[in-house]
Structure 1
């Protein structure tokens, strides 16, 4: 695999009787992840029949399909017929078209009661707190995938200076909306959950609401920028989100 590879350059693995996995690489890599999202976007445009759901991850694309629809008369398993159709869809496409996704701004109250580990992150990076915040808001992130909990975004693009290992002792509960750093990634906890990542701030926005359509604020492939806010704006946004 290489970052210049076309969308048809993937391996196919059956997962049970109704799932198919397209593997574009073996590591967390922004270029590989971009190809995953480009392929997902292409499949959403062609509306391949018998395809129930498309689930992007870091380097793979899982396809949930209707097995009876893809059952053939030759006795071969349905996934092989779907695999052939997928190869046909991607045939002749030399390079994945970039999928930009939406641009979403996330307001964050950094530090204090909302970011208990911000000072530790600053010390680990050899920076002051203001510099950590400035670096965290300076870049555009990409939602590599949703996982762990409904609506939890794994974001690629973290400044290398801010990378920090997860906590040795995870917390049993962190507040909804907590913004955190775990290794080379940053993420946002959509609900009150156990957490091993380093907490640096909190957003008043609701990341996941089962009654909302769509329920997740962010989607794989979206572009995200953080914006630092003060206590007054945090309270006002939290009140309006109720």
Structure 2
């Protein structure tokens, strides 16, 4: 599976004289953390390592202030702490991210939120994105496999230059993974199928065929994936958007 490299879409790199240090970031996180937000993480099924209790909205605003800083991202990830790692995915420079780094980070994933944030804010903007979709789709660990389909979902939205064939290949991966009964995998597979099918009319038709095939399965898991995707892919709202070229 291959496609053109997506745009990095990352903010201007911070000048060396203006670099925010790891110590400064940790102080910022500590000052803004609340017990209420830590409780919210649990409510959404996010099993976080040493959380500070800072909202994603606050992290995004702070990331914009920091700018792009690959070295800081590595340092933040190395702390092992939830919000520090979330912030790392938001400030890292996608042009500096290696395939090895992606493999290392994906092996550290321990909840769905860090998976999705990394895929939507960083991994999908690297030159390795499409190769990792294909590789990780075959992986056994739950969050690694979720990453494959979270990234396919993200690329469906963000990679405007990717050819249809890349997504048609993605539908084959979706069909093969649709039997995975693990909750965080099947939900990502479902969202990827829906996202591919909303990209354009051709892919909508292909995604509907895949969803219909899955919906007829005797296995409850692919049947769930297919039927839930069909509801949106065949909806009047999606058909209207595709007809007007606003997918």
Please state which band the TM-score falls in when normalised by the shorter chain: under 0.3
Looking at secondary structure, tell me which structure has more strand per residue.
1
Of structures 1 and 2, the larger Rg is shown by: 1
TM score, norm. by length of structure 2? 0.25
Looking at secondary structure, tell me which structure has more helix per residue.
2
TM score, norm. by length of structure 1? 0.25
